[in-house]
Amino acid sequence: MNEKNVIRKGYLNQLKAWLNTPLIKIITGMRRVGKSTLMEQWVNYLQREEGIHSRQILFIPCDSLENTELQHWKQLEEHISPLAKQTGPKYLLIDEIQHIEGWETLITALHREGSWDLYITGSNSDMLSGELATRLSGRYVQMQIFPFSYSEHLEILGIKEHQSEEFMKYLQFGGIPVLYHIYDEDSMKHQILEAVYNTIILKDIIERHKIRNVDLLERIVSYYMDNIGNISNAKKIADYCKSQRISVGVETVQNYMKYLETCFIMHRVRRNDLKGKRILEVNEKLFCNDTGLRNAVLRRKTQDIGALLENLVYLELLRRGYHITVGYYGEWEIDFVAEKGSQREYYQVSYLLASEETINREFRPLEAVDDNFPKYILSMDQIDLSRNGIIHRSIPRWLLDKAP
């Protein structure tokens, strides 16, 4: 099985919309989620569908052995000089650009020339922090790449509809593309997931931020992974570390939490007071970027299935371009408030609606919200329990029916 055979249509459609626009296209995402493959697919599209000659296109994977000499922006400038001499439009794609010192200088200069269509990828969300974001304000668009969705998982396997066994495998091992080379070898999958995790921790956090207390970092990661779907904050994590006889200040925990987010391994979701119409500043819900990575770090199979399902829905909403908060309406909590422009949808996620008490507990918060935006209950139940305008869907069916 080859993950490169899966055409990532949603991402390619976004790139098509941005083609030849005077914007720098910035593609971010966790290591090993397929940014390089997406760039290769985009090059193929430009040549085959847009008729752009290969001499007008240059794709540079900065983390490949053949490009190890490219360490500074001046070396990169010299490397692209043959393309720079071409007349007419020029297409430059630079993968994992954070390896190039001072890359911002060259990219902003090329952008000012006006004849370049620029695409860059990176594994850190703070690529555009501080001064650079100000300099490029209004001159770039950004897209985040995620591991394979459940829909893509089935496509790789050549399966046309939901299968319970495959869904549970997906929940356990996640959708990191490299796994599909050894799909039937579960023990090897755990080893690969651990290797991906260790690379992210080493390259994107320990080396990048010069972390000395690695044990503390790993404890915080374990807390994060073990509390997906739960509300937490830096003080709670610091208290947890102290219970493990590790003394740490709240500010240090906040820094480590930020590092985990900037390399896309973890997510924090803010709370939304729907009645007061304000975002709450303290206590956020925790999620991970891939359920397989989480299970490998904690060395578990699909335990905590309710939390894993909630995490799955969260990631799918992100893939579909929604801004997500955790809703509060008076005393009620709503798992997700998903917004895109003027559109809003509400979601409750539950493993099984196995009793009348559970049904009432899940429906009541949505019934309390007095607006006409769509409201969904998602669970693993196969029968339709919709009521009072609230739509009940099976999680796997929802993942597939609304897939882009």
- Boundary residue ending a domain (145, 164, 192): 145
Above 60 in pLDDT, residue 404? Answer: no
For 12-62, the pLDDT digits (tens) are 999 999 999 999 999 999 999 999 999 999 999 999 999 999 999 999 999
Above 80 in pLDDT, residue 343? Answer: yes
- Identify whether residues 177 and 266 lie together within a single domain: yes
- Identify whether residues 95 and 181 lie together within a single domain: no
pLDDT of residue 55: 95
275 vs 107, 331, 368, CA distance in Å?
A: 44, 11, 11
In DSSP notation, 14-73 reads HHHHHTTSSSEEEEEE-TTSSHHHHHHHHHHHHHHTS---GGGEEEEETTSGGGTT--BH
- Identify whether residues 11 and 159 lie together within a single domain: no
- Identify whether residues 35 and 183 lie together within a single domain: no
- Identify whether residues 130 and 179 lie together within a single domain: no
For 56-69, the pLDDT digits (tens) are 999 999 988 888 89
Task: Please check whether residue 42 is in contact with residue 145, taking contact to mean a CB–CB distance below 8 angstroms.
Answer: no
Instruction: Count other Cβ atoms within 10 Å, centred on residue 319.
Output: 21
- Boundary residue ending a domain (106, 130, 145): 145
Closest CA to 223 of 174, 171, 268: 268
- Identify whether residues 215 and 336 lie together within a single domain: yes
- Identify whether residues 101 and 74 lie together within a single domain: yes
- Identify whether residues 210 and 355 lie together within a single domain: yes
Structural domains of the chain, count: 2
The CATH number for 111's domain is 3.40.50.300
- Give the Cα separation of 230 and 209 in Å (integer): 27
pLDDT of residue 378: 98
Which residues span the domain enclosing 23?
3-145
- Identify whether residues 137 and 161 lie together within a single domain: no
- Identify whether residues 344 and 263 lie together within a single domain: yes
- Identify whether residues 231 and 379 lie together within a single domain: yes
- Identify whether residues 136 and 176 lie together within a single domain: no
Task: Please check whether residue 193 is in contact with residue 292, taking contact to mean a CB–CB distance below 8 angstroms.
Answer: yes
| pTM over cut 0.85 | yes
Q: Mean of the pLDDT values across residues 107-127?
A: 91
- Give the Cα separation of 206 and 116 in Å (integer): 35
Residue 137 neighbours by CB under 8 Å, 6+ apart:
none
- Boundary residue ending a domain (110, 125, 145): 145
Please report which helix (H) or strand (E) contains residue 273, including its range.
strand 266-273
